[in-house]
Amino acid sequence: MTDLEAWRAKAAAWLESMAPAFGREARKGLSEAEDLALGRRYQKAKFDAGYAGINWPTEYGGQGLGHLEKVTFDAEEMKHGFPSFYFGISLGMPVPVLMQFGSDKAFVKERVLKALQGEEIWCQLFSEPSGGSDLAGLRTKAEPDGNGWKINGQKVWTSWAHYSDYGVIVVRTDPDVPKHKGLTYFWVDMKAPGVTVRPIRLAGGDSHVNEVFFDDVKISDDHRMSPVGGGFAVAIATLMIERYVATDSAGFGPHLDLFVDLAKSVELNGRPAIEDGRIRQQIARNYAMRSGLDSINVRARLMMQAGMMPGPEGSLGKLVAVRSRQKLSELALDLQGSDAFLFDEHASQKEDWASSWINAPTGRIAGGSDETLLNTIAEKVLGLPQDHRPDKGIPFNQIPA
Amino acid sequence: MTDLEAWRAKAAAWLESMAPAFGREARKGLSEAEDLALGRRYQKAKFDAGYAGINWPTEYGGQGLGHLEKVTFDAEEMKHGFPSFYFGISLGMPVPVLMQFGSDKAFVKERVLKALQGEEIWCQLFSEPSGGSDLAGLRTKAEPDGNGWKINGQKVWTSWAHYSDYGVIVVRTDPDVPKHKGLTYFWVDMKAPGVTVRPIRLAGGDSHVNEVFFDDVKISDDHRMSPVGGGFAVAIATLMIERYVATDSAGFGPHLDLFVDLAKSVELNGRPAIEDGRIRQQIARNYAMRSGLDSINVRARLMMQAGMMPGPEGSLGKLVAVRSRQKLSELALDLQGSDAFLFDEHASQKEDWASSWINAPTGRIAGGSDETLLNTIAEKVLGLPQDHRPDKGIPFNQIPA
Amino acid sequence: MTILYDESQQAIATESRRVLEARVSKDALLPLLETVGEYHRPFWDTAKEQGWTALALPETHGGLDLGLVELGLIAHEAGRSISGAPFLTSSFGAAKAVELFGSETQKARWLPGLASGETIGAIAFSEGPDALPRRPDVTLTDDRLDGTARGISAGLAADMAIVLANRAGTPVLAIADLAGVERSPVPSFDNSRCLADLHFSATTAETLAAGDTARDAALHILALQAVVTAHEQTGGAEALMEIARDYALTRRAFGQPIGAFQSVKHRITELYGLVELARANCIHAAAREGMADFITAAAAARLSATEAYDSAARDCIQVHGGIGVTWEIGLHLHMRRARSLAIEQGSSLFWEDILVDRLAGEAA
Amino acid sequence: MTILYDESQQAIATESRRVLEARVSKDALLPLLETVGEYHRPFWDTAKEQGWTALALPETHGGLDLGLVELGLIAHEAGRSISGAPFLTSSFGAAKAVELFGSETQKARWLPGLASGETIGAIAFSEGPDALPRRPDVTLTDDRLDGTARGISAGLAADMAIVLANRAGTPVLAIADLAGVERSPVPSFDNSRCLADLHFSATTAETLAAGDTARDAALHILALQAVVTAHEQTGGAEALMEIARDYALTRRAFGQPIGAFQSVKHRITELYGLVELARANCIHAAAREGMADFITAAAAARLSATEAYDSAARDCIQVHGGIGVTWEIGLHLHMRRARSLAIEQGSSLFWEDILVDRLAGEAA
């Protein structure tokens, strides 16, 4: 591990040096536009310092290092609150998929380089209003148009679409076959005529997800990234990548230390809350859950380092961590009593309990709801039967809406 | 309510006077045979004193009073630990159903009188090994035999069958129609040739439930209590009666006071357990749950007294009460630490935490599992869709086993 | 012993639901989240016009002489529609404090206005985590209040407040006229609660009770409010359970209504159970007003209602999936309200302790 | 930092599972519930023959110089098959006490027998609810023990015991030779644990540690045992999860396997999650032996393993329906064992406090 530790130390030092210019403090009070601009400069700095595309092939401007270096860097980077999340999806799924499935290599390389330097952002156009957890049930359609295609329909929950230059999209090209057999995978220019992006405001107040409308959007066939009718497999490949994005045993909420500090600072029934069994129990249970997840994640990295495929238990993280974070955040509000009312909708959900609480439902739904994750584990890992699906094998256009 | 209160006082006084002869103390150390004999004498005493068949018609030897008097008596009776549970099922479901659906009135009256006096016991032959929660899926069959019927098959989970003189039974008389349309309801003589009863031992150690085998058991057609093929409706009517049997917000486990006493008697982390938030939280949560159920039950009685049909919320009792009792019992064992090991498998689950814990799973399954209760409420009360049932409408003999 | 609602009580429920459904909508409530100190005036006007403000107050002072049962019914319906202002509970608590512990002069001065709704009352007991502090920060010296009461709901709009203060080390319950008292608004996740810090500085106040009596009195007022709030929480939970059920019946996935999937089906059914338990405890508690075990019954109602509303908010949104977390659909109005009601009048942690002290015979 | 099992460690797991599946069956275990003081001799003979008793002890005294990781792997497999005796854990705890705190003479006297399994050790710390009493009932005066140690697992079979005693108000850790010590059997819901009350009366004992050192030493022994037990609990939970899954795949209701119903499907999947979290904490804790945070890691493993086994027992039986509560199917063997393992070496309540004291920096 010493090589890696040395690499980690070097990266940590560099990140430290970037903090004054791009870190938490530097971002205070910035408008989203200003913050994004700062984010683009930070991404360029990462690229120049050799910390962009860490585990990507060098011919695409990556560093050619391992996944282990990547997650090590992510863990260190997380500490400083840099404006990197604008590029999380872009560099997380669409661009890697473009590298894997894009046909025109020159074009691909140009896009990848601009994405790595924060000049261009990609989004992922999967979910639809009718869809929910049923990806293969999508309705946006692409019809042959000359020697290209014409896209009509609507996507939703598209993160950062309003800042995106390009996107990858799954559409229905054949409604006459069972639903998952009639899909094809393309990339699209988000600035093309007929593309309309409308931000969706979330319960917590912010709005980084969008509705995206396609009205007679024309694309040439070189935009196609899968065989016609073979888009579902590429879509699944895209989603699989998500499992290897760095996890957080805090469920993307505050660290447990912050709860312990809170419990030490307030009184309950006339005694310090940290001495109250109810609070102690939640601290202990959450610690055990989080340490278990951390151990699972560390083992997954060790296996990847040893060239092995990590076990399926990795997919537990989001399910248990976010669910527990939701209840722990509610308890933190109870503990503060009427002091909990004071609320800043822009506070970080990693540091503020109210923000963590109000954004928790999004966390439980985004990237696979609890129920979807339970089904996936049940079927893929435990071999339990698939749910009854009346639409199975039925031509898409014969499924009752 | 004053009439009822007076009636309650009178009944309470009588029960008090019976305690020395039949109560908890009197039963200590008795074999089950001796205890049953005592139970029969107690049942006779109830009959003579006018406390048997409280809400049954007088022409069948009942008292012609209301359901309210019945549950009032049951609540008082519960306090003394009388050996009355041998007759609970018998007088709870089969005999009332016999009164309602029995054809030969003279025969019916004779049976009812003997049952009320504890001379005869009836059991209910519904569940089958293949069945689980799927009552209509039963396989025991009755074929025409002369001008009577011949029964072959196996029933299971039949309480007190080993002491029963008669039983009511649902059997399949037509395998060629959808499963719930091919059933017929009969009564059988449990001493008839071809009937074999084999007690099943339960996890807690005791064995009051049985397997019952029928080999060419011949019965005449006057045993029939439903139209041929109309047995399912009568079976459901039988089960409906169960909801009006007295409920227990303690989930048939110990009263919460016993947990409070325990918490006062032991120390946790160097302080009385009753001062520990974890213990306090469980006491408070269980109290709130139980007081809610008690309030639901009281309101149900008031409605019945007012001639109204109680709401469906009555069916919540068993679901939440037994489930909570299971976890509270585990916590009680944790609280006792190594003192919890000392175990008497004959201790009462109303008074002993280990006995309550070890018998809780039976409580969660008997008379409708948690899942069955949830489905019933979801479909009957909330109007949510029925689960997917591939066997629906298919002739019984074409359903894959 | 609990009760069955009689016809007139059922009529109160039906009528108040009708009026509220006609006059309150989420579109009117959503913008209130984005301004500090605004409440939904049509709701409060309705409450006054319908006499809800007078419902549980004595006829001799402009009230209708009804009780907690009837007010609870209104609160339940208000909870269903996400009440646009906290005054129904806050003014009721203030009025009961005056009615139960005040002099005839004090009653004559405050009750008519509180009954008509022209006067708005607030309860200033809590200090952050402590719903009933033994040594409040606010002090009373020679009938003058000093110090700050934090995060007081209705504080921005109230004309008077019942304050739990510290007089030379012993607790006192006092009435304060808020005219001229400096208040700083508290921006919150549920702004129509009109939260404020009240900065007393030589504010004249009249004592209602002192010493242990003051503490018992304060707890009694808190319990009365808690029963009203529990009804409101139960109404909110009931609404969410019904919204979830209706969505599960119409929304389809994999070719069938999502309500056919047991994960959804059973989740909604568990909510039904929580709602019915809360309802039963509420009815029981309302019927126990004035009895020896009222505090116990109030605590049980409060605990089950808080659990029901928080759980319903979590699960109803979860059942909806992505659409459930959008601003426009407004389920977060319930989720926010579930939390603010869970904290006002003391959190579950507070009521668990109150309840167990009594069950274990350690009541103060 | 946690670890990946190397090949030799994986071999230990495979081999021990093979042997146990061949030699232990529920039919052999069920009758043990009905006699007091009998344990499953084939299990213990296997443990001795396979060298499991020597695994984690020093080579210098007949051990194999392996550690908690390897013993944990054995315990996991023993838990899967419901170990027929508690000695693997009790003797290990006793041996570690001698190894870590004993004199060379004491090691020479006790370790070889404990390593070969000929000597059986017990740990006598707990007094009912208190897993680590500050003022034990058992007293030590002039190297003589007096008083009763209650509900000691392995107590009926043990040749020696490590006793936490009270010497003039300060705790001491002592070794007692149990030959000639009067024991009364404790009939329990899990009789193969060989539970007994040990009645010391002027029993000779040798001191291992005194004062705070004694208490820290006792906690360290308890933590070592807790990690072994956590592996055993995880193995039991894993077995139950697999039994539930297999049953859900074969048992049909309403024309389909019950595993197709989400209530069953998700219940089993949640168990999978609990098992994997427990396993991860176990591996981590075993790898932290001797490090500063060992007690913390042990507590986390213990808490998640106890939750996993209790939950698996509840839910596996529930998934089975009626058949699950029969005597013959024997699921209650796991349910009983889940509870006895949850109590031995201190309940979750005890370990929650140990853990939080450390997280909050209040460790003794």
D318 interfaces chain C, CB cutoff of 8 Å: no
Instruction: Sort out which chain D residues have CB atoms less than 8 A from C263's CB and list them.
Output: 262-263, 266
Cα–Cα distances in Å, from D247 out to D29, D243, D244, D317? 21, 6, 5, 11
SS3 B1: coil
Please list the residues that pair with A72 across neighbouring strands: none
User: pLDDT value at position A304?
Assistant: 64
pLDDT of residue A239: 66
Distance, in Å, from the CA atom of C112 to the CA atom of C119, rounded to the nearest integer, reads: 8
Q: pLDDT tier at A349 (50, 70, 90 boundaries)?
A: confident
Q: Do B279 and A280 touch (CB under 8 A)?
A: no
Q: Is the pLDDT of residue A245 over 70?
A: no
CB contact under 8 A, D151 and B338: yes
- pLDDT higher than threshold 90 for residue A248: no
- Strands (DSSP E) contained in C131-271 are 139-141, 144-152, 160-167, 170-177, 182-185, 196-210, 252-253, 256-257
pLDDT in the model for residue D283: 97
- Note whether C253 and D254 are within 8 A (CB): no
As for the ipTM of the complex, it is 0.90
Which residue, C58, D344, D215, D289, is CA-closest to B337?
Answer: D344
Mean pLDDT score across all residues of chain C: 95
Min distance D45 CA to chain C CA atoms (Å): 47
| pLDDT for residue C364 | 41
Residues 6+ apart with CB under 8 A from D52: D16, D46, D71, D74, D88
Burial category of C18 from C-beta neighbours within 10 Å (exposed 0-12, middle 13-18, buried 19 and up): exposed
Mean pLDDT of C156-182: 96
- Per DSSP, C124 falls in state E
Q: Which two tokens stand for residue B10?
A: 């009178």
Give one DSSP letter per residue of D90-135, joined into a string: HHHHHHHHHHHH--HHHHHHHHHHHHHTSS-EEEE--BTTBSS-SS
Interface check for A337 against chain C (CB to CB < 8 A): the answer is yes
CB C92 within 8 A of CB C160: no
| Rounded-to-10 torsion of CA B110, B111, B117, B122 | 180
Burial class (CB in 10 A: 0-12, 13-18, 19+), C34: exposed
Mean model confidence pLDDT for chain B = 88
CB atoms within 10 A of CB B175: 14
Q: Does C18 touch chain D (CB under 8 A)?
A: no
Question: Is D135 touching B (CB cutoff 8 A)?
Answer: no
**CATH T-level fold of D216-363:** Butyryl-CoA Dehydrogenase, subunit A; domain 3 (1.20.140)
**For position A308, what pLDDT does the model report?**
65
| Pairing between β-strand A148-159 and β-strand A209-220 as defined by DSSP bridges | antiparallel
Among chain C residues, CA nearest to A273: C129
Cα(D224)–Cα(D89) distance, integer angstroms: 9
- Chain D residues close to C262, C-beta within 8 Å: 261-263, 266
Instruction: Please give the mean pLDDT across all residues of chain D.
Output: 95
pLDDT at B401 over 70: no
Radius of gyration of chain B (CA): 22
Beta-carbon contacts of C354 under 8 Å, excluding residues fewer than 6 positions away, are C219, C295, C299, C346
- Using an 8 Å CB-CB cutoff, list chain A residues near B277: 268-269, 276-281
Q: What are the chain D neighbours of A255 within 8 Å (beta carbons)?
A: none
Question: In this structure, are residues C223 and C97 in contact, taking their beta carbons and an 8 Å threshold?
Answer: no
Considering only residues C255 and D87, tell me which one the structure prediction assigns the higher pLDDT.
D87
Subunits that touch chain B (at least 3 Cβ pairs < 8 angstroms)? A, C, D
Return the biggest CA–CA distance within chain B.
77
**pLDDT value at residue A252:** 82
- Listed range (A143-152, A198-207, C115-124) with the worst mean pLDDT: A198-207
**Interface contact D1, partner A, CB < 8 A:** yes
A307 has a pLDDT exceeding 70: no
CB burial readout C67-94, b (16+ within 10 A) else e: ebbbbbbbbbbbbbbbbbbbbbbbbbbb
pLDDT given at position A319: 86
- C-alpha span between B198 and A316 (Å, rounded): 46
The CATH superfamily holding the domain C121-211 is Butyryl-CoA Dehydrogenase, subunit A, domain 2 (2.40.110.10)
- Residue-by-residue DSSP string for C174-192: EEEE-TT-EEEE--BTTGG
Return d(Cα D264, Cα D41) in angstroms, integer: 37
Interface test with B, best of A269, A271, A276 (most B CBs within 10 A): A276
Q: What is the pLDDT of residue C255?
A: 83
Q: Residue D22's pLDDT is what?
A: 94
**C 39-78 → B contacts, CB under 8 A:** none
Higher per-residue confidence, A72 vs A33: A33
Q: Cα(D171)–Cα(D99) distance, rounded to whole angstroms?
A: 20
Closest CA to C193 of C37, C61, C338: C37
> Rounded to the nearest 10 degrees, how much is the dihedral formed by the CA atoms of D80, D82, D87, D93?
40
pLDDT for residue C1: 55
Q: Which chains touch D (3 or more CB pairs under 8 A)?
A: A, B, C
More confident site: A67 or B226: B226
Does B377 reach chain D within 8 Å, measured CB to CB?
no
Looking at residue A199, its pLDDT comes to 92
DSSP letter (8 states) at residue B118: T
Q: Is A15 helix (H, G, I), strand (E, B) or coil?
A: helix
Worst-scoring range by mean pLDDT, A291-300, C119-128, C346-355? A291-300
Interchain CB contact of A347 with D (< 8 Å): no
Nearest to A278 among B278, B388, B390 (CB): B278
Smallest CA–CA separation between D262 and chain C, in Å? 5
Residue D326 to residue B202, Cβ atoms within 8 A: yes
Q: State residue B400's pLDDT score.
A: 58
pLDDT, residue A241, reads 59
pLDDT > 70? residue A335: yes
pLDDT given for residue B207 in this prediction: 75
pLDDT number for residue C169: 92
A307: exposed, middle or buried (Cβ count in 10 Å: 0-12, 13-18, 19+): exposed
Fold annotation for C7-99+106-116: Butyryl-Coa Dehydrogenase, subunit A; domain 1 (1.10.540)
For Cα atoms A12, A15, A19, give the angle at the middle one, nearest 5 degrees: 135
pLDDT digits (tens, 9 = 90+) for C199-229: 999 999 999 999 999 999 999 999 999 999 9
Neighbouring C-alpha atoms within 13 Å toward the C-beta of A216 = 1
Rounded to whole angstroms, the Cα distance separating C242 from B381 reads: 12
For residue B2, what pLDDT is reported?
Answer: 66
Hey, is the C-beta of A305 within 8 angstroms of any chain C C-beta? no
- What's the mean pLDDT when you consider all of chain A? 88
pLDDT exceeds cutoff 80 at D288: yes
Average pLDDT score over residue span A317-339: 94
The count of other CB atoms within 10 Å of the CB of residue C327 is: 18
Going by C-alpha positions, the residue among B288, B281, B314, D261 that lies closest to residue C272 is B314
Task: Parse chain C into domains and list their residue ranges.
Answer: 7-99+106-116, 121-211, 216-363
pLDDT tens digits, residue range B21-43? 999 889 988 888 999 999 999 99
* Mean pLDDT in residue range B272-301: 93
Task: Return the exposure string of A2-19: e unless at least 16 CB atoms fall within 10 Å of the residue's CB, then b.
Answer: eeeeebbeebbebbeebe
Q: Inspect the interface and report whether the beta carbons of A280 and D257 lie closer than 8 Å.
A: no
The verdict on a CB contact (< 8 Å) between C273 and B319 is yes
Instruction: Give the torsion through C-alpha atoms of D18, D23, D28, D33, to 10 deg.
Output: -70
The token duo for D362 is 């209040």
Nearest chain B Cα distance for residue A386, angstroms: 12
Q: Which residue has the higher pLDDT, B181 or D298?
A: D298
Question: What pLDDT does B304 receive?
Answer: 64
Q: How far apart are CA C318 and CA C311, in angstroms?
A: 10
Highest mean pLDDT: which range of A286-290, B4-8, B293-297 = A286-290
The answer to whether C283 faces chain B, any CB pair under 8 Å, is: yes
Q: Are D192 and D42 in contact (CB under 8 A)?
A: no
**pLDDT class for D364, splitting at 50, 70, 90?**
very low
Residue D93, pLDDT above cutoff 90: yes
* D chain contacts of residue C261, beta-carbon cutoff 8 Å: 262
Contacts of A277 in chain B (CB under 8 A): 268-269, 276-281
Q: Can you tell me the distance from the alpha carbon of D323 to that of B126, in angstroms, rounded to the nearest whole number? A: 15
- Cβ of B391 and D324 within 8 Å? no
- This prediction has a pTM of 0.87
**The pLDDT of residue A246 is above 60:** no
